[in-house]
Chain A
Amino acid sequence: MLRITGGKIYDPANGINGEVRDVCISGGRIVERVDGPEVRTIDASGMVVMPGGVDIHTHVAGAALNFARAMTPENHRVAAKFIHSPTLRAGTGGTTPTTFATGYLYSGMGYTTVNEAAVPILSARHTHEELRDTPIVDKSSCVLMANNEILLDLFEAGETERAKDVLAWLVWAAKGYGVKAVNPGGVAAWKWGKDAKVLSQPVHGYSKVTPSIIIAQMAAIVDRLKLPHPLHIHCNNLGMPGNVSTTLETMAVLEGKRAHMAHLQFHAYGGEDWHTIRSEAARVADFFNAHPNLTADAGAILFGDAVTITADAPWQHLLYQLTGRKWGNLDVENETGCGIVPYVYKGNNVVNAVQWAVGLELLLLIDDPWRIFLTTDHPNGACFWRYPEIIHLLMNADFRRESIRKLPSKALKRIVLNDLDREYTLSEIAIITSAGPARALGMPRKGHLGPGADADVRIYNENPNRELMFQHPRYVLKGGEVVVEEGDIRKVVDGREFVVRPSYDASVEEFLRPLFEQYYTIAFENYPVERERLEGADIRDLG
């Protein structure tokens, strides 16, 4: 049992904004009170206390990330090193940290829950193995489906009911938590060397199915299945100048359905080409503000090294042609694809400067912090361990203006960031880094400090330099265990995985089995991840 006393509590989900209160912990949960001589007390006088961070969109495990790790030995050489010790396993940090290092880096920054945002079902087993080796943090995963040819065939045939059962079966087969749509139709078209750039045009290889249909059908199915997290969507035309129209059209298609718009920064550009690219954050934010059915994460970029990893294989081929650097491409049979391109965002590059501004603009222009969350689409826009830099930019308008002054003058006419005076408060930071994403993920025990919540808590020394403050929490508690103390990792606990089991008609397996025998390289029986493989998973039955 444990009591945190004297700290200023920022628990926006329970309406607590900087009041000095005690937080009591027993059995890994927050409780009303603890008594007795065996209660340990943490004196947090003068410190800031928040619920543990929740990352709604990150890439920390799986075949694609491993491919990226293997492709970038140059990043590992200069990365932070974790030396084997009685507490820690060896590993490296950097742009694509190793599994154990990922857990240490996230929890060392006060994050206790992460959502792996792109899992092909065929490599789900591997992803879960890696997530198990990612300690301390709790994990969930989104399953890639918007280019699954079995599903697209069903949409083509108008068999919505069966599609619903197949989708539900696939979520359970992958032991996933949510459903991800990446460049709907575009990755399926990539297998013909094409892309899906127009939402209303049939996907290559189909006569009826369009990206719009895929988006609308999948969002509707996810809602009908009552998945805790809505459809997690990566729009078509990611990263392209002028893609704002596609993004607005996607959001319009989603009218009346829940959806989470991933890494919105990459989808809010105007202009016709790379020479005229400009920010359209204001247009996206206006539309978004008026549509409460949507949530989004920023996908902000920071200048420096990154590795772009996405199922959006056609985009990665284009990025490879732009950079002339190395490129990795994976084909995942009938389900999806994947591309990897190491990338450096440069402060003196006009396109990169616009991208940098768009991420911050979206965070500042979207009014409701409960609907926009802090991410960098790690490791695509920047590494997750650089979140504190973004927090400082959000909380300090003067520092932001100083940073804007360093941008190339050409970029200044293409952005609106200089006109924005808004500064985030600590309470709003608690929302965009924890309470908001926990709510959007549908995790009622995460992101707050009310009785019954998981005792995931981060405690910071107040510091006007918010970057330093958020980089080094004084204490981090995970499930009531003190894992970080005085800024060091003192104890490593296992994290658990969140999995949902949507209901489906069991006869769907008889529909799927022959398709597997015909089209897949592995046997139907070997396809689903066995439940026993997930140690201590938190399985939510939606039946």
Chain B
Amino acid sequence: MITLRLKEEPSVPIEAEALSPDVVAALRRDEIRALPMFLGKRQVRVGDFFEVEGEASEELEIHGDAGRIKWLGRGMTRGRLRIAGNAGMHLGAYMKGGTIEVSGNASDWVGGEMSGGLIRIGGNAGGQVGAAYRGSRTGMTDGTILIEGSAGLEVGMRMKRGTIAVKGSVRDFAGLEMKGGTIIAGGAELRTGAWMMRGTIVSLTPIPLLPTFAYACSYNPTFLRLCTRELRTHGFSLPSEASEGSFRLYTGDAAVSDRGEILVWQPRVS
């Protein structure tokens, strides 16, 4: 295992796409220290900001508040990246495989345009989780993002496949222009599913809905039971038994499609 300890918090953000298991897997300690990062517009080396222990491993651990360190695990395809602390913007962007775990909070664009792998955030995440970068037509196309806390704006914007599960609440525009995949959230603020073409948004508490979503029925979808089983292995639990209640299904967004679905959990009143 390779362990990096942050020596001092940078005064401006650092862009550190080199800090990914793919890059360090075959490197010696001095080579890891010499990897380039950008501190603002200036090029620095990993060794300038981190104490490096271990070498040649696909397991990378970062200790310290990395909330200003961007692009950690960018495009990674394998291995494990653990961050004991916070993570900066664009964590796991373009990720294809492997696992990222963050014990603290993560900033915006977690798993932006990712196509595989697993990201777990112990605290809260910022906006644009699994989203498409500006101008792109599709956001995440596969993989899983699990967030213990809450998340910000435009969660899963333009996502096409994959799963985003947020225990807490998400803010406005969750699933904006969504094309597929699943977003599960404890709750959501305004304009959830705006312009969604397809895909599923699940809320475990009542949410305000756009007028372009129409109530269809109340039921307990089979796929959610499978989804629940899968999420349970990651420590996420969802109510899905008919004995506990049912989901109200709304279809939309009628402004563009009627094939998207929003499922709102309604516990059985006993």
- Are A and B bound to each other? yes
A interface residues, Cβ below 8 angstroms from B: 71-75, 77, 325
A73 touches B134 (CB 8 A): yes
CB distance from B198 to the nearest CB of A (A): 15
Instruction: Kindly list chain A residues whose C-beta atoms are within 8 Å of the C-beta of B134.
Output: 73-74
Which of A71, A72, A73, A325 is the most central at the interface, judged by chain B CB atoms within 10 Å of its CB? A73
A72 to B133, CA, bound (A): 11
A73 touches B137 (CB 8 A): no
A361 to B151, CA, bound (A): 55
CB distance from B188 to the nearest CB of A (A): 26
B133 touches A325 (CB 8 A): no
- Consensus secondary structure, chain A interface: helix
Instruction: Kindly list chain B residues whose C-beta atoms are within 8 Å of the C-beta of A74.
Output: 133-137
CB distance from B208 to the nearest CB of A (A): 28
CB distance from A128 to the nearest CB of B (A): 28
Q: Mark B54-75, 1 if CB is under 8 A from A, else 0.
A: 0000000000000000000000
| Given A74-B135, A77-B133, 12 new contacts (CB under 8 A) | A71-B135, A72-B135, A73-B133, A73-B134, A73-B135, A74-B133, A74-B134, A74-B136, A74-B137, A75-B135, A77-B135, A325-B137
A73 to B133, CA, bound (A): 9
A77 to B136, CA, bound (A): 10
A325 to B137, CA, bound (A): 9
CB distance from B101 to the nearest CB of A (A): 27
Which of B133, B135, B136, B137 is the most central at the interface, judged by chain A CB atoms within 10 Å of its CB? B135
Instruction: Kindly list chain B residues whose C-beta atoms are within 8 Å of the C-beta of A77.
Output: 133, 135
A75 to B134, CA, bound (A): 10
Instruction: Kindly list chain A residues whose C-beta atoms are within 8 Å of the C-beta of B137.
Output: 74, 325
Q: Mark B100-119, 1 if CB is under 8 A from A, else 0.
A: 00000000000000000000
A325 to B136, CA, bound (A): 11
A496 to B257, CA, bound (A): 53
Task: For chain B, give the interface size range.
Answer: under 10
- 12 A-B pairs within 8 Å (CB atoms) are namely A72-B135, A73-B133, A73-B134, A74-B133, A74-B134, A74-B135, A74-B136, A74-B137, A75-B135, A77-B133, A77-B135, A325-B137
**B132 to chain A: closest residue by CB:** A74
- Consensus secondary structure, chain B interface: loop
The 4 closest A-B pairs by CB, nearest first: A74-B135, A73-B135, A74-B136, A73-B134
A444 to B9, CA, bound (A): 63
**A84 to chain B: closest residue by CB:** B41
A71 to B136, CA, bound (A): 11
CB distance from A75 to the nearest CB of B (A): 8
A75 to B136, CA, bound (A): 9
A381 to B235, CA, bound (A): 52
Instruction: Kindly list chain A residues whose C-beta atoms are within 8 Å of the C-beta of B135.
Output: 71-75, 77
CB distance from A68 to the nearest CB of B (A): 12
CB distance from B179 to the nearest CB of A (A): 12
CB distance from A92 to the nearest CB of B (A): 13
**A76 to chain B: closest residue by CB:** B135
CB distance from B178 to the nearest CB of A (A): 16
A58 to B225, CA, bound (A): 57
CB distance from B160 to the nearest CB of A (A): 15
Q: Mark B126-167, 1 if CB is under 8 A from A, else 0.
A: 000000011111000000000000000000000000000000
Instruction: Kindly list chain A residues whose C-beta atoms are within 8 Å of the C-beta of B136.
Output: 74
CB distance from B187 to the nearest CB of A (A): 32
A504 to B246, CA, bound (A): 81
A297 to B136, CA, bound (A): 32
CB distance from A253 to the nearest CB of B (A): 41
CB distance from B128 to the nearest CB of A (A): 14
A71 to B135, CA, bound (A): 7
Instruction: Kindly list chain A residues whose C-beta atoms are within 8 Å of the C-beta of B133.
Output: 73-74, 77
Instruction: Kindly list chain B residues whose C-beta atoms are within 8 Å of the C-beta of A72.
Output: 135
A315 to B136, CA, bound (A): 24
A73 to B136, CA, bound (A): 8
A71 to B134, CA, bound (A): 10
A75 to B135, CA, bound (A): 8
A73 to B135, CA, bound (A): 5
CB distance from A345 to the nearest CB of B (A): 16
Instruction: Kindly list chain B residues whose C-beta atoms are within 8 Å of the C-beta of A71.
Output: 135
CB distance from A283 to the nearest CB of B (A): 38
CB distance from A244 to the nearest CB of B (A): 33
**A344 to chain B: closest residue by CB:** B137
Instruction: Kindly list chain B residues whose C-beta atoms are within 8 Å of the C-beta of A73.
Output: 133-135
**A70 to chain B: closest residue by CB:** B135
Instruction: Kindly list chain B residues whose C-beta atoms are within 8 Å of the C-beta of A75.
Output: 135
A325 to B134, CA, bound (A): 14
A233 to B113, CA, bound (A): 43
A71 to B137, CA, bound (A): 12
**B41 to chain A: closest residue by CB:** A84
Q: Mark B233-257, 1 if CB is under 8 A from A, else 0.
A: 0000000000000000000000000
CB distance from B196 to the nearest CB of A (A): 15
A72 to B137, CA, bound (A): 11
**B136 to chain A: closest residue by CB:** A74
CB distance from A321 to the nearest CB of B (A): 14
A141 to B51, CA, bound (A): 58
CB distance from A207 to the nearest CB of B (A): 42
A325 to B133, CA, bound (A): 16
CB distance from A257 to the nearest CB of B (A): 43
CB distance from A66 to the nearest CB of B (A): 15
CB distance from A248 to the nearest CB of B (A): 38
A45 to B232, CA, bound (A): 72
CB distance from B56 to the nearest CB of A (A): 30
CB distance from A390 to the nearest CB of B (A): 27
**A78 to chain B: closest residue by CB:** B136
CB distance from A89 to the nearest CB of B (A): 15
A528 to B134, CA, bound (A): 37
**A325 to chain B: closest residue by CB:** B137
**A324 to chain B: closest residue by CB:** B256
CB distance from B137 to the nearest CB of A (A): 7
A77 to B135, CA, bound (A): 10
CB distance from A205 to the nearest CB of B (A): 34
A72 to B136, CA, bound (A): 8
Which of A75, A77, A325 is the most central at the interface, judged by chain B CB atoms within 10 Å of its CB? A77
A74 to B135, CA, bound (A): 5
CB distance from B109 to the nearest CB of A (A): 13
Interface residues of B in 175-208 (CB under 8 A from A): none
A75 to B137, CA, bound (A): 11
A73 to B134, CA, bound (A): 7
CB distance from B89 to the nearest CB of A (A): 15
**A77 to chain B: closest residue by CB:** B133
**A75 to chain B: closest residue by CB:** B135
